[in-house]
Amino acid sequence: MKISEKSTWTRGSPNSSRNIVENLLYRNYFTWKSGGHFEDTIYALSSGRGKAGVAVIRVSGPDASKCIERLTRPFNSVKAEMETLPPSRKAVFRKIIHPSTGEILDHGLVLWFPGPNSFTGEDIVELQVHGGNAVVQGILGALGKLQDYRPAEQGEFARRAFENDKLDLTEVEGLADLLNAETEIQRRLALRQAGGALKGLYDSWRSDIIKNLALVEAIIDFGEDENIEDGIFKQVYDAISSMYLSITNHMNDNRRGEILRDGIHIAILGLPNAGKSSFLNRIAQRDVAIVSHIPGTTRDIVETTLNIGGYPVVLGDTAGLRDTDNLIEAEGVFRAKKKIQQADIKICIIDSAMLVGDEAKVNLKKSLGPIVTDEIDSNTLILLNKSDAVETADGIRELKETIIKELGSSFIWEVSCKTGKGIDTFLGSFAEILESSYGTMVAESPLITQARHRVHLGDCIDAIERFLGQDDMVLAAEDLRHAANAMGRITGRIDVEEVLDVIFKEFCIGK
């Protein structure tokens, strides 16, 4: 429901089942800070700063039309034209002038978006002008001369859209993620969320909870007199049980959405001088890490962000894993092990030239050392580096068989970080592994992308579990109320003030 609709409601008895849904939404309405009304008009550069062909300056607020009247003139300056706003959503070419001096600042396009059918729900004006710094600063300075105009704060346009019921919190977060997306998968994930995919899912669950809560309240208020209890509570119980399974399945996603949003963290591990830093540099196509023949060169975690097959990847080079008396190197090994344990994917680099031969086949774990082999599992990706230095193909084949048998991983590739041999083959296979693990995002259900979503969903599930095990009808109703509130906090229906500042600070000025 829209704010204008909610504001006409009257409250009934708090114990009346007829008013239970209204009471919940009534409390929701009064969490809005200002009811969607703002006295001042804000402006900001909405396009990127610096020299550009075009700059977009956005104005939003009750007096937005004033900037058209005071700052723009048609080229054929007829008084009637000067006083008339341009057609809504149609670009007109005008002179941009200073309101005090009348000096022409630029020529540009003016677009008029009357509220409430605009991004913020307010009147909006966009000035599309040349992107030179002097032009932009001149126009921003001119806007500052208008009464009740002020520069926008960070994320204030999006916040006004939220306050005016144009966006819910999940859509706001999706919009922020869309602005920050660096890979194709991040773009798809953010676009779906900004388009309301999560909102639709969570609102439907919350609506169903509230409907069933109203039935429970009806049983409490009228069950004895009206004989409506028979079968109604079982109907509620079955519906909530089904919803419980749906929410649980939604949460059992291995954090895919959060990982895709923040980047898939990958740890490179192995013995000193196995070629870990060379591999990082080869993949990044630049010198990210120092490469030296001296063992133990890498002490701290060296990370770089990459786009592999459209997936965001944070690749981290770690210190060579070995026992050492050097305190600094030992600290590097400690940090490396911590990074490896936290990683989403592990890549182990093995010096194949060192391990080919009868000795290695018999004592592979001894040759690698327990500090390395303890970190390898069946999902670890293993790269046999320096394969160009191995004289026979049989040696590599036998080493692969030994790795599969003793270490349990069958994800093995032959590469040479020095020459680049096998790197492209590995990257192709790696992209397929990422797609298999994290999905294509084309036809999947919406994914959880924020830690706060997971927290509130967990609270909702806890409340539903209490409901399903509840014998007292009044307490059962309270459990459903808690479940609805927890779901409402995700989309911003209730009790959201504590998260608003954090969310909107992620935006740039002008959005």
Percent of the chain residues past pLDDT 70, beyond the cut: 83
- Within a domain: 12: no
pLDDT band at 324 (very low <50, low <70, confident <90, very high): confident
Residue 178 backbone dihedrals phi, psi, to 5 degrees = -65, -40
pLDDT at 16: 35
Last residue of a domain, one of 438, 460, 494: 438
Q: What is the pLDDT of residue 498?
A: 44
Asked if the model's pLDDT at residue 417 lies above 50, the reply is yes
pLDDT tens digits, 76-101: 655 545 557 899 999 999 999 999 99
CA atoms of 110 and 97, how far apart (whole Å): 12
> What pLDDT is stored for residue 315 in this prediction?
94
Instruction: Please report the sign of the dihedral spanned by the C-alpha atoms of residue 227, residue 231, residue 232, residue 233.
Output: positive
What are the C-alpha distances in Å from 14 to residues 17, 21, 435? 8, 10, 51
Which of 83, 117, 152 delimits the end of a domain?
Answer: 152
- Directed axis angle between helix 169-180 and helix 497-504, to 10°? 20
> Do 280 and 369 share a domain, yes or no?
yes
Asked if the model's pLDDT at residue 500 lies above 70, the reply is no
Residues 412 and 468 in one domain: no
Residues 431 and 498 occupy one common structural domain: no
d(CA 263, CA 438): 11
Say yes or no: 115 and 244 in one domain.
Answer: no
Q: Is the pTM of this model over 0.85?
A: no
Which range of residues forms the domain containing residue 432?
270-320+329-438
pLDDT digits (tens, 9 = 90+) for 197-234: 999 999 999 989 998 888 888 888 766 655 555 678 88
Under 8 Å between Cβ of 289 and 165: no
220 and 81 together in one domain = no
Where residue 490 falls among pLDDT bands split at 50, 70, 90?
A: very high
Q: Which residue has the higher pLDDT, 508 or 281?
A: 281
Judged against a pLDDT cut of 80, whether residue 356 lies above it is answered with no
> 135 in a domain, yes or no?
yes
In terms of DSSP H, where are the helices of 289-422?
Answer: 327-342, 352-355, 358-362, 364-368, 370-373, 393-407
Residue 30 binned pLDDT confidence (cut-offs 50, 70, 90)? very low
The Cα 159–Cα 169 span in angstroms is 9
Residues 227 and 306 in one domain: no
Give pLDDT tens digits for 343-355: 999 999 998 877 7
Q: Quote the pLDDT of residue 238.
A: 94
Judge if 98 and 74 occupy the same domain. yes
Q: CATH code at 401?
A: 3.40.50.300
**Same domain flag for 378 and 232:** no
Question: What mean pLDDT do residues 331-342 have?
Answer: 92
CATH classification at residue 182 = 1.20.120.430
